[in-house]
Structures are given as structure tokens and as C-alpha cells.
A = this chain, B = another copy of it.
């Protein structure tokens, strides 16, 4: 499949709400896309299943059919959120981690932006976490053995030049497109000199591959002090690029700075497919009350469309969300308000 927008007559979008509030917010994102009218090719939605609930019902967390339909029939997809079992469950494995790998969605792009009450004023926090999405400890190569002193478990952390280079390229491209053109490479090479050493070197080498990347200023941070400085001086960051696990932690940390995980979107992007996904989890504590924040999913839809080349449509969604948060002050409980998922969604749709 090509990511080029020109040839498309219709846009087939896989919807995988999965568990918990995923089932409340993915429908909201769908509604927002439907409101776009002729700005995008006629959207066709395909409902697909995956998740812990699917596992409990069918014994499989990610049914083959879901993967086949995504691969063969869909131009893109939206994924909700998965619940994690509270005890070890034999045979269960996270479907989102699997999907990222199977579809080779190597870049997890997570823009974290605070909405300032005054649209003229620059955002206090405005960064993109670019997370490598296919390797590091997420290769899930784990073994358990029994040694002299009891059980011993080992996991492999894989870092390759190829994956580090392609995520590096993505990060340089994103940095280049922003006013500040600043990139921070995150690693822990003072301990992991070989694996994180390779990540750091591969990312830095990208700058030499294309003269246009000279315009990007590059800094480095050890992951521990990156989290520390993120809280103390978030304004120092523009684009951050990180191996998988550090990116997971950093994007949650950054989300804490903008009021709520409920507003932070992401896309899982590969060369041939893109899948939007809110950064938040399945939030079992609030599921079913109709109070989940739909903003992260709606913005994920915008991000997905932007990635496919529909910048206008994406802007319409993002501007509508900004207005609803800023002017209407229509906020779900995670942002300190009392609005319901549906109210917020309707207000956004009206603004689109």
C-alpha cells in the first residue's frame, strides 16, 4: 500500500477499541472523522477485535482475522487501549505490542502539547516524543531457568543499527519541520555502552547522511536526568528520540505536564501503514461511566490523517479540539471538569 493520498477514492479505517475506555473513545474518534465531509475520501470503517477481553472470550488476544483485515483491506487504523492482567496469565501477550511489530510500525510519534488558555501565547510544553517501536526489551525474548539460588529470568534487549537509523531519520525529519529544529537523543550509554551506544551513534550518524539535517541542533540526555529535567525545564525539549522503553516512560512523564494522559495522542507509523492510538490506558476505574476524555483519541485520528497527507482535515480536527478546551472550557473529570465523553465529542464535532 502506498501512503500517497492522490489515488485514494475511499479511506478504509480499521477500528480496534479493545478494552475498557477504548470502547468509549474510539467511537468518538470515528464521529470526528465522519464530520470532516469531503476533506478526505469517503471513510469506510471496519470494526475489529483484540485485547484482554477478546483473550478471555476466545483464548487469543489478537485474532488472525484482525491482522489479515488490517493488512489487506485497511489504509490505516485506530487502536483504543488494552487492559493488563493483574496476575500472570499463561498464553496472553499484549496485542498492541504484537501489532506494532507485525505491521512494522517502527515509529511511535507522541506530540505532547499544553493548551494555553490564550491562543496567542505559546504553549508551555510543546514537544514530540519519537519512540522506537519494534525492539529494545519489547522483542519479548524471555526465558526462566532454575539456578542454585532459585528462579532466574532473563530478557534480551535488542538494539539494531537499522531500526535506530530509521527512527533517527524520522526524528530528524520531524525536528526539521519545526521552528526550533532541536533534537535530544535519549539513552543510558553510561551503563549500556554497547546497546545504547549503538542507538546513540546510529541516530547521530543520520545527520551526516543528508545535508538538510545540518539545520538540526542535536543534544543528548541520559534517560534518568532526561526525566528529571523534563519536569524542571520542559521548555528545553523540542523533539526527543528514544529507544522503546525509555520512550514509553518519557511520553507518560511528559503527559503529566499537560494536565492529563487523556489529551495525549500518538501514531504508530511505518512506511506502509499508520495506526492512531491514545497514549492512555484502558482505565478500568472509570470505564462505563461515560466520562473518559475523548480528546486523545480524536487527536490521534487527526495525527493519523496528517500522516496520510490530509493536513487540512487534521488541522480542522485539532482546531476544533483547541476551541472546545480553550473557549468552551468543556472538560472531562481528568482535566478537572464535569463534562461527559459525549458532550465533549459533540462540541468538537460541531466545531469541525
B-binding residues in A (CB < 8 A): 84-86, 88, 92-94, 97, 137-138, 140, 142-144, 147, 149-162, 165, 188-195, 197-198, 201-202, 220, 222-225, 227-232, 245, 248-249, 251-253, 255-257, 261, 281
Residues of B within 8 A of A84 (CB): 189-190, 222
| 8 A-B pairs with the lowest CB-CB distances in the bound complex, closest first | A142-B194, A150-B161, A84-B190, A231-B256, A149-B162, A151-B161, A224-B252, A155-B157
Contact of A152 among B88, B158, B252 (CB under 8 A): B158
The verdict on A193 contacting B223 (CB below 8 Å), with A153-B160, A160-B150 known, is no
Whether A88 contacts B161 by the Cβ 8 Å rule is no
CA A273 to CA B151, docked complex, whole Å:
26
Q: Are B158 and A156 in contact (CB under 8 A)?
A: no
Copies of this chain, complex-wide, total 2
B154 A156 Cβ-Cβ under 8 A:
yes
Identify A249's interface contact among B86, B158, B190, B227, CB under 8 A: B227
Q: Would A138 and B194 count as touching, CB distance under 8 A?
A: no
Task: Give bound CA distance, A85 to B190, whole Å.
Answer: 7
What 6 new A-B contacts, CB under 8 Å, besides A144-B194, A150-B162?
A88-B189, A137-B192, A142-B193, A143-B194, A228-B255, A231-B257
Question: Is B198 within 8 A of A151, CB to CB?
Answer: yes
Which residue of chain B has its CB nearest to the CB of A261? B228
Known: A137-B157, A152-B158. A227 touches B198 (CB 8 A): no
Output the least CB separation between A293 and chain B (Å): 14
Chain B residues lying within 8 Å of A150, measured Cβ to Cβ, are 160-162, 165
B249 near A223 (CB under 8 angstroms)? yes
- A249-B224 in contact (CB<8A): yes
Asked if residues A227 and B228 are in contact (CB atoms below 8 Å), the reply is no
Known: A190-B84, A192-B137, A256-B232. A159 touches B149 (CB 8 A): no
Whole-angstrom CA separation of A93 from B224 in the bound complex: 18
